[in-house]
Structure 1
Amino acid sequence: MNAQYQHPSELPRPESAASIDSVLALYEEFGQLHYDEELAQIDHALQTAALALHEEASDELVIAALLHDVGHLLAIQAGRAEGESAVPAQDLTHEAVGARYLAGLFPPSVTGPIALHVRAKRYLCAMQADYIQGLSDGSVRSLELQGGPMSVTELRVFERNPASTNAVRLRRWDDGGKLEGLRVEPLSAYVELLQRVSFL
């Protein structure tokens, strides 16, 4: 595993989201930025959520699809606070940071798949020989840094996690939500759903 990788348990705990409005504000401020992909963050989020809706996923899983990369936006926000204008070159912990940030607003049925969606990529790489061929260039670049395909022991641990099945579903939508020019519903279309699923 790459020496730059930090296990999620070693991360500082981010402040929890204060409200749905504060989450939406992240996408409004930073959503047009790109992160190691051809697509802007907001476009990728909306496409991933649209795929979840198309497969008639639960409300919670649709929200997980919409917000799965919010940790990237938090990394950008933190960089700007430190005076950095560029998008971070690598962010190897966004799934854990994002899940922790959302934990005060949403149930584990939302945050669990988000926390596991990077590991789900490693799981699928180990389970399906041709899976990696369908990954975007950005996902292939990050795979090695994230630990590469899972070992047999890691597979067993992953499969025992109650959120693993939905994390794999989320991962497939994540992989598919990277099409340039695809027209989908705007972020405002999800506000009512966010409010319905939220604790607040």
Structure 2
Amino acid sequence: MDLIARIEALFLRRGRAEYESDVAQPVPVLAHALQCAQLAEWAHADHELVAASLLHDLGQLIDAEAGAPLRIESHETAALSLLAQGFGPGVLEPIRLHVQAKRYLVATEAGYEAGLSPSSRLSLERQGGRMNAEERLLFLAQPYAREALQLRRWDDLARQPGKRTPPLAYYLDLLADLMRDMRTPPRLLIA
């Protein structure tokens, strides 16, 4: 099964599931992913960041395929080995860093934590809590930290029940185009 088909299968089989948490989530995984990707597009993010926005919680669906519950904490790395089969760091790194981005924002922006969904606030401590000064410096020094911060903000906003978005097929086409562009070597213009 090719990568796009695998992603589609995960979303179609498990994407209607709700996140497991002590606090109910307002939207299932697929609706959240589509809303997050749409917000990235509306912000004119590049295709890699739109893809990362769509795929940032895919690790939870992989866990579910293995029989584990959909967990909010420790999911950010579960899909990276699968996604590395077709995508580069512009997609993978914002996904890997999006939980750290929440921890960074809680530590640096007054009122950010109060604006988190109840389940995000609950999972924050399980994910390491607010970052200390050293952790903040290390986070910002990482390539793609800024993109992870953008992804995190869209992640926080992508929780509106019943919100209309483009269908999954629209974003799967975007993923296929992105993978094709990554495989095509750039042309050199010789004058």
Q: How high is the TM-score relative to the length of structure 2?
A: 0.88
Letter in 1 for 2:11: Y
The equivalent residue for 1:21 is 5
The equivalent residue for 2:52 is 64
The equivalent residue for 1:120 is 101
Structure 2 unmatched runs, 5+? 184-191
Return the match for 1:54 from 36, 39, 42.
Answer: 42
Structure 1 unmatched runs, 5+? 1-16
Aligned-residue Cα RMSD (Å) equals: 1.5
- Match status 1:195 vs 2:176: yes
How far residue 192 of structure 1 moved from its aligned partner, in angstroms, is: 1.9
How far residue 99 of structure 1 moved from its aligned partner, in angstroms, is: 2.3
Query: Which whole-Å CA distance do the structure 1 matches of 2:81 and 2:37 have between them?
Result: 20
Query: Which whole-Å CA distance do the structure 1 matches of 2:111 and 2:79 have between them?
Result: 29
Return the match for 2:91 from 106, 110, 130.
Answer: 110
The equivalent residue for 2:82 is 101
How far residue 98 of structure 1 moved from its aligned partner, in angstroms, is: 2.0
Query: Which whole-Å CA distance do the structure 2 matches of 1:133 and 1:107 have between them?
Result: 34
Larger Rg belongs to:
2
* Kept in 2: contact 1:70–1:98 (CA 8 A): yes
* Kept in 1: contact 2:72–2:123 (CA 8 A): no
Return the match for 1:181 from 133, 137, 162.
Answer: 162
* Kept in 1: contact 2:56–2:95 (CA 8 A): yes
Query: Which whole-Å CA distance do the structure 1 matches of 2:74 and 2:162 have between them?
Result: 28
* Kept in 2: contact 1:123–1:155 (CA 8 A): yes
* Kept in 2: contact 1:98–1:115 (CA 8 A): no
Query: Which whole-Å CA distance do the structure 2 matches of 1:162 and 1:73 have between them?
Result: 26
How far residue 43 of structure 1 moved from its aligned partner, in angstroms, is: 0.3
Q: Give the % identical residues.
A: 41
Compared CA separation, residues 47 and 91, structure 1 to 2 (3 A): closer
Query: Which whole-Å CA distance do the structure 1 matches of 2:84 and 2:124 have between them?
Result: 26
The equivalent residue for 1:152 is 133
The equivalent residue for 1:133 is 114
Q: How high is the TM-score relative to the length of structure 1?
A: 0.85
Query: Which whole-Å CA distance do the structure 1 matches of 2:2 and 2:96 have between them?
Result: 19
How far residue 25 of structure 1 moved from its aligned partner, in angstroms, is: 0.5
Return the match for 2:26 from 20, 38, 41.
Answer: 38
Query: Which whole-Å CA distance do the structure 2 matches of 1:91 and 1:51 have between them?
Result: 21
How far residue 22 of structure 1 moved from its aligned partner, in angstroms, is: 0.6
